[in-house]
Amino acid sequence: MTVQTENVPDRTAFARVYAEVQQFYAWHMHLLDSGAAREWADTFTPDGVFAPPSAPRPIVGRDALAAGAEQAHAELRRKGEQHRHLLLSVNVRPQDDGSLTVRSYAQIVATPRDGEPRLHLMCVTHDVLVRGADGQLLVRHRRVTRDDRA
């Protein structure tokens, strides 16, 4: 392919990290949606921050993140509703300090038992991802804005 002439090592490095972010997001959100709250919290750094649009203040640290996810999942089970979080249209900007600034469009799809799925929320997610001791991506900071409150 004649388009592949410039900065091939850099562009290969970008392809690696881009695939890795998408793979990470798929795994991360499947944990949340399947109710694996503790495992989901462990995909944040120990001091990870999640600033959701509906909470009065950011949620900080894995214990608080796990507790929040567990409570949200329990409510969905009571309602008989399955939620799916999809992080799409991913834009990854590697930073000089090795972190990744990632912006994505987030769809939350809600499906009641025996009912029709609906697009529950449309959001924009702003993440800072870093690497843990084993090289694994972790969320250090997440800020989410809702399109209905923009």
Q: How far is the CB of 64 from a second copy (least distance, A)?
A: 25
Q: Which is nearer to a second copy, 54 or 96 (CB)?
A: 96
Output the CA–CA distances (angstroms, integers) from residue 66 to 38, 71, 111, 124, 148, in the order listed.
Answer: 5, 9, 23, 22, 26
Q: CB neighbours of 147 closer than 8 A, spacing ≥ 6? A: 121, 122, 123, 124
Q: How far is the CB of 1 from a second copy (least distance, A)?
A: 5
Query: Which residue, among 73, 54, 50, has the nearest Cα to 62 in the 3D structure?
Result: 50
Q: Which is nearer to a second copy, 78 or 116 (CB)?
A: 116
Positions that interact with a second copy (CB under 8 A): 1-8, 10-20, 22-23, 25-27, 29-30, 82, 84, 86-92, 94, 96-100, 103-105, 107, 109, 111-122, 131, 135, 147-150
Q: How far is the CB of 28 from a second copy (least distance, A)?
A: 10
| Structure tokens, 57 | 């203040």
